[in-house]
Chain A
Amino acid sequence: MSSDTPDYGFTGSTDGEDGEVLLSVQALKKYFDEGVSLLDRILGGGTNAVRAVDGVSFDVRRGETLGLVGESGCGKSTVGETILRLQEPTAGSVSFEGENLSNRDGLTEFRRNAQILFQDPFSSLDPRMPVGDSIRQPLDIHDWPWDGEGDETERKQQRVEQLMERVGLSADQLDRYPSEFSGGQLQRIGIARALALDPDFIVLDEPTSALDVSVQAQILNLLADLQSEFGLTYLFISHDLGVIRYICDRIVVMYLGEIVETAPAEQLFTDPQHPYTKALLESVPRVDLKERERDIDPLAGDVPSPRNPPSGCRFRTRCPEVIPPADLDIDQAAFRDIMDVRDRVADREIAVEKVRNTVTEEGGQDRPRVADRLYDRLVDNELPPEEREYVREGLQAVAAGDWDRAGEHLRERYESVCETDHPTGQVSCHLVE
C-alpha cells in the first residue's frame, strides 16, 4: 500500500513487497469426488470430480489483510477451509511460519495460531450452549493458560469477560443463548471466540455477508481495530468488492478454482489487468448519481462446470478479449461468436434434431439448409465471407451428426492460444505476459 494513503489501521505492519511471509500456499488443490460411485472408479471413466480448487498458490504476509474475491462457486471458501485443514487438500502444501503443515504433527499448534470466523453467525454457534461457554471452549481444548499460574477457572472466566467486552458486548450477557442475540452481536461473539487463544492469523470467511450494511460497517471497523491492536493477519474471503476494497491490502481474484490476478488493492481497483477482473469491477453497481448513465457491458453466459473446466485459460469461454490466431484478421465480436459455436459443438449443445424437423416440415431435407439454419441461429455478428463459409462447412458436419469432425474442422482454423496454453504469472492472461 502506498505511503500517502492515510493509515486507518488496516495496513498493519506490511509495506509493499517485503513483508515477512506468514503463510504460504503452494499449488493447493481440493477435488470433491461426491457422486462418483465405486463402480465409476472401477470402470475408470468416472473421475469427473468437482475441481473446487485447482492449483492455487499465494503468500500471506504478516500483519496484512489479504482479500480473496470471486463469485459463488469459484472455490474461495474451500481455499480458506483447506488452509486450516478443515478439509483435507487433494494436493499441494501449506506452510505456516516456514513450517510445512502437510504432516499432522504441527497441526495442533497451528490451529491455536490460526482461527476462522464463519459467514453465518446463526449456524456457527451451538444453539444449546450459553455464548460464554462457546467462547471458553477453545481455552479448554488447548489447555489455556499455558503458563499454569493462578486459578485456572477464574483466569478463564476473566479472559472470556475481557474478550466479550473487547468486541463491544457486555460481560453480563455471557450466560445467554445465541437465540437471544442479533446477527451482528453473534458475529461479535464469533470474533471473541476466534480471538480467545490470541492467534496470529484469522480466516474471515464472508464475515459480513449475512449482515445488513449498517451492522456490516460496525463489524468491519471492529475487525480493523482488532487487527491493529493485536497485530493480526487476515485472509478475508468475500464476494463483495466494496468490502474487499475497504479492508484489504492485497487482493487475490479467483475464477473457477484458479487465481486469475493478484495485486495490491489500490492497483487492482484503479488498474485491473485481467479481463475477468475488469468485468467484475465493471459489473458492480455504484452508489452514485451518474450510475444510470454508466454503460456496462456485462459478461455473457454463465460460469462453466467445475467438473469439466475449459482447457487453457478457464475464463476463455466468456472472455471479451479472447485472442484469435495470428494469421486471422477478424474483429473480437465475430471471433467471440465463432468461439461460442465451437464451445457448443464441443459440448454437443446444439439442437440439430429440432432444426432438422423444422426444415423437413418446410419441405426441404438437404444438409446445407440445416447448416444454414443452424448458422442463422448461432451466429449473430457479420463474419467475413471466408470465415462464414468455413464455419458453415463445420456446421454441415454437425448437421450430418459428426460432432468430432465438426469440432476438428473448426479447431484447425480457429484454435486460440487461450485454449492451448495455460496462462501463468501474477496476472493469469496471455494478453498481459
Chain B
Amino acid sequence: MAEPLLRVENLSTRFFTEEGQVNAVEGVSFEVEQGEVFGIVGESGSGKSVTALSLVDLVESPGRVTDGSVWFRKPDLAERIREDDPEAATEAVDGEMVDIRQLDENERRALRGTDFAMIFQDPTSSFNPSITVGTQIAEAVEVQRRAEANPRTLRSRTQGFGLMKFLTTSMVPTVDYVSEESRERAVELLDTVGIPDPAERATEYPYQFSGGMLQRAMIAQALASEPSVLVADEPTTALDVTIQAQILNTMADLQEEYGMTTVLITHNLGVIARMCDQVGVMYAGELVERGTLGDLFERPTHPYTKGLLGSSPSLEDATKRLQPIEGNVPSLLDEEMEDRCYFADRCPKAMEDCLQDPPEFDADGSQHHRAKCYLADHGYESALPEGYFDE
C-alpha cells in the first residue's frame, strides 16, 4: 500500500490559561490517504476544531501544539531538506514524508495556503468586510503565483489595508499587490464553485453576499492554490439545510474534480455520512474510535460512538426512543484530569480497569478500525456496581 498523504502521530495541543492547563487535544493519531475524505466528528469541546487548527499550525496563544508530529508526503521538500541539512533530515524526514512540526517557521508558512488550505465555519467573520470578495480571492491566487515564481524566498505577505495603503494605491496604482491575472483567476474560481455572474459578484463586498454564497467564496479562496490538503472546519454548520445541501454537493463535485485530500470537521453525523470515507470520533480531546464509514455506522465498538449514534434522531424512523448518553462532557483542565478513560463516568459498560489502567488505542479486527476501549478487544461487560460514580 502506498504511503498516506498525511500521517498524524500523537498530536497534543494544550492551552495555558489563567485557570490552568487545558488539554484540548491529547495524543491524536490518524492517517489520511491521498484523495480521501477523513471526517472528524465529536461534540463541542471534544477538541476537533483544535485538531484542525493544529494540522495547519494556526493554534493561537495561549494555545500551543506541545507534542507529536504531522507527517506530510512531499518528495521534493524531503529531498531538499536532505541536501541542505542532512543532520536535521534524520529527524524531520522519513522517506518521502516530512514532519511539518520540525520545519522552521518560514518553511511551514510556505506550506500553509499552498499545500494546506482551510475553510472556516463562519464565512461572515472570515472575510475582511472592507475589501471586495474578488480581491480577497485574488490575493490568495497572487500569493501562490509569487510563491511559485520564487519558491525559496520568504513569501511577502499581503500588504496592510490602512491609510498608507490607500494613499499609495491612489497615487501609484501600479503598486497594487494583486495583478490583473490573479483577478481573472479569482473570477474563474468563483465560477467553479457555482456563483452565478461571477465577474459581477467579484466586485462586491462580503456584506452583499448571503451566507451560502460567502461560504462558496471561501471555498474558492481555498482552491486558489490547488491545495493537496483541504481542512474544512464545520463548513456548513452556520447554514440552513437547503443551503447546506448545495454546499455539500459543490464540495463533493470539487473533491472529485481536483482529487483533493480533505479533513472534514463536523458535529453532524449526516454530513459525515454524506462526505467521508474514513471517520475518527473524538471525545474529551482524544480520538476514541476510527475506521471506515461502514465500521463506525454498522460495527461501532466504542460505547461513545454507539451513544452518539443512539442519540441522533432519525428522519426515517420516529418510533425508537432516543438513547441519550447520561451526564456531561468532562472538564479538560489538566489538574482535574486523571489518567483514566475519560468516558468511563458516562459509560454504561465501565469497569475497574478503565479507571486504573486506561485502554490503549488498539486494533480491533482490521488494521483500520481501531478504538480506545477495552470492549474493542476483550468484549466483557461492565463489572462496576450500579451508582459507582454517584459518589
Contact surface of A with B, Cβ cutoff 8 Å: 5-6, 8, 71-72, 182, 184-185, 212-218, 220-221, 239-243, 245-246, 265-266, 269, 279-289, 291-292, 296, 298-300, 302, 351, 354, 377
Distance between B210 CB and nearest chain A CB, rounded to angstroms: 4
Query: In whole angstroms, what is the CA distance A292 to B298 when docked?
Result: 15
| A241 and B200 form a contact (CB under 8 A) | no
Contact surface of B with A, Cβ cutoff 8 Å: 43-44, 197, 199-200, 210, 212-213, 240-246, 248-249, 267-275, 293-294, 297-298, 307-316, 318-319, 321-326, 328-329
Q: Which residues of A contact B315 (CB under 8 A)?
A: 241-242, 245, 269, 281, 284, 286
Distance between B29 CB and nearest chain A CB, rounded to angstroms: 24
Query: In whole angstroms, what is the CA distance A282 to B315 when docked?
Result: 10
Contact residue among A182, A241, A302 (Cβ-Cβ distance under 8 Å from B210): A302
Closest 9 CB pairs of A and B: A285-B270, A217-B324, A217-B311, A242-B313, A283-B245, A298-B245, A212-B43, A291-B273, A214-B325
| A354 and B200 form a contact (CB under 8 A) | yes
Residue of B nearest to A294 (CB): B274
Can you list 11 pairs linking A and B with CB atoms under 8 Å apart? Answer: A212-B329, A214-B325, A242-B313, A246-B318, A246-B322, A269-B315, A280-B241, A282-B245, A284-B241, A285-B274, A354-B199
Distance between A336 CB and nearest chain B CB, rounded to angstroms: 13
Distance between B177 CB and nearest chain A CB, rounded to angstroms: 24
| A292 and B312 form a contact (CB under 8 A) | no
| B240 and A288 form a contact (CB under 8 A) | no
Query: In whole angstroms, what is the CA distance A289 to B309 when docked?
Result: 13
Query: In whole angstroms, what is the CA distance A300 to B294 when docked?
Result: 31
Query: In whole angstroms, what is the CA distance A212 to B48 when docked?
Result: 14
Query: In whole angstroms, what is the CA distance A282 to B318 when docked?
Result: 17
| B322 and A285 form a contact (CB under 8 A) | no
Q: Which residues of A contact B248 (CB under 8 A)?
A: 285, 296
Q: Which residues of A contact B210 (CB under 8 A)?
A: 302
Query: In whole angstroms, what is the CA distance A8 to B321 when docked?
Result: 7
Contact residue among B310, B312, B323 (Cβ-Cβ distance under 8 Å from A242): B312
Q: Which residues of A contact B313 (CB under 8 A)?
A: 217, 220, 240, 242-243, 245-246
| A296 and B324 form a contact (CB under 8 A) | no
Query: In whole angstroms, what is the CA distance A184 to B267 when docked?
Result: 17
Query: In whole angstroms, what is the CA distance A216 to B268 when docked?
Result: 13
| A351 and B274 form a contact (CB under 8 A) | no
Query: In whole angstroms, what is the CA distance A288 to B270 when docked?
Result: 7
Query: In whole angstroms, what is the CA distance A174 to B293 when docked?
Result: 44
Distance between B201 CB and nearest chain A CB, rounded to angstroms: 9
Query: In whole angstroms, what is the CA distance A292 to B271 when docked?
Result: 10
Q: Which residues of B contact A71 (CB under 8 A)?
A: 240-242
Distance between B155 CB and nearest chain A CB, rounded to angstroms: 33
Q: Which residues of A contact B324 (CB under 8 A)?
A: 214-218, 221
Distance between B199 CB and nearest chain A CB, rounded to angstroms: 7
Q: Which residues of B contact A8 (CB under 8 A)?
A: 319, 321
Contact residue among A212, A240, A279, A298 (Cβ-Cβ distance under 8 Å from B44): A212
| A216 and B314 form a contact (CB under 8 A) | no
Query: In whole angstroms, what is the CA distance A217 to B316 when docked?
Result: 17
| A286 and B200 form a contact (CB under 8 A) | no
Given pairs A213-B267, A284-B245, A302-B212, 15 additional interface contacts (CB within 8 A)? A6-B319, A213-B308, A213-B311, A239-B240, A265-B318, A266-B318, A281-B315, A284-B270, A285-B274, A286-B316, A287-B297, A291-B274, A292-B275, A296-B249, A302-B243
Query: In whole angstroms, what is the CA distance A377 to B242 when docked?
Result: 25
Distance between A342 CB and nearest chain B CB, rounded to angstroms: 15
Contact residue among B241, B314, B328 (Cβ-Cβ distance under 8 Å from A283): B241
Query: In whole angstroms, what is the CA distance A289 to B298 when docked?
Result: 8
Q: Which residues of B contact A265 (CB under 8 A)?
A: 318
| B197 and A286 form a contact (CB under 8 A) | no
Query: In whole angstroms, what is the CA distance A184 to B197 when docked?
Result: 45
| A214 and B246 form a contact (CB under 8 A) | no
Query: In whole angstroms, what is the CA distance A245 to B314 when docked?
Result: 8
Residue of A nearest to B236 (CB): A285
Residue of A nearest to B304 (CB): A214
Contact residue among B240, B275, B308 (Cβ-Cβ distance under 8 Å from A214): B308
| B322 and A269 form a contact (CB under 8 A) | no
| B249 and A298 form a contact (CB under 8 A) | yes
Query: In whole angstroms, what is the CA distance A406 to B92 when docked?
Result: 66
Distance between B94 CB and nearest chain A CB, rounded to angstroms: 33
With contact pairs A283-B244, A289-B297, A291-B273 given, residues A185 and B328 touching in the complex (Cβ less than 8 Å) = yes
Query: In whole angstroms, what is the CA distance A71 to B298 when docked?
Result: 31
Query: In whole angstroms, what is the CA distance A365 to B293 when docked?
Result: 58
Q: Which residues of A contact B241 (CB under 8 A)?
A: 71, 239, 241, 280, 283-284
Query: In whole angstroms, what is the CA distance A303 to B246 when docked?
Result: 13
From A217, A243, A281, A284, name the one whose CB has the most chain B CB atoms within 10 angstroms. A217
With contact pairs A291-B273, A292-B274 given, residues A215 and B318 touching in the complex (Cβ less than 8 Å) = no
Q: Which residues of B contact A282 (CB under 8 A)?
A: 245
Query: In whole angstroms, what is the CA distance A71 to B246 when docked?
Result: 14
Q: Which residues of B contact A377 (CB under 8 A)?
A: 197
| A288 and B246 form a contact (CB under 8 A) | no
Query: In whole angstroms, what is the CA distance A187 to B210 when docked?
Result: 31
Residue of A nearest to B248 (CB): A285
Query: In whole angstroms, what is the CA distance A5 to B317 when docked?
Result: 11
Q: Which residues of A contact B310 (CB under 8 A)?
A: 217
Residue of A nearest to B46 (CB): A212
Q: Which residues of A contact B325 (CB under 8 A)?
A: 214, 217
Q: Which residues of A contact B322 (CB under 8 A)?
A: 217, 220-221, 246
| A285 and B242 form a contact (CB under 8 A) | no
| B245 and A289 form a contact (CB under 8 A) | no
Q: Which residues of A contact B212 (CB under 8 A)?
A: 302
Q: Which residues of B contact A245 (CB under 8 A)?
A: 313-315, 318
Residue of B nearest to A224 (CB): B321
Query: In whole angstroms, what is the CA distance A158 to B298 when docked?
Result: 48
Contact residue among A217, A241, A281, A292 (Cβ-Cβ distance under 8 Å from B273): A292
From A220, A246, A280, A284, name the one whose CB has the most chain B CB atoms within 10 angstroms. A246
Q: Which residues of A contact B298 (CB under 8 A)?
A: 289
Query: In whole angstroms, what is the CA distance A302 to B43 when docked?
Result: 29
| A289 and B293 form a contact (CB under 8 A) | yes
Residue of B nearest to A181 (CB): B328
Query: In whole angstroms, what is the CA distance A243 to B241 when docked?
Result: 14
Query: In whole angstroms, what is the CA distance A212 to B294 when docked?
Result: 23
| A5 and B328 form a contact (CB under 8 A) | no
From A5, A214, A216, A239, name the one whose CB has the most chain B CB atoms within 10 angstroms. A214
| A286 and B273 form a contact (CB under 8 A) | yes
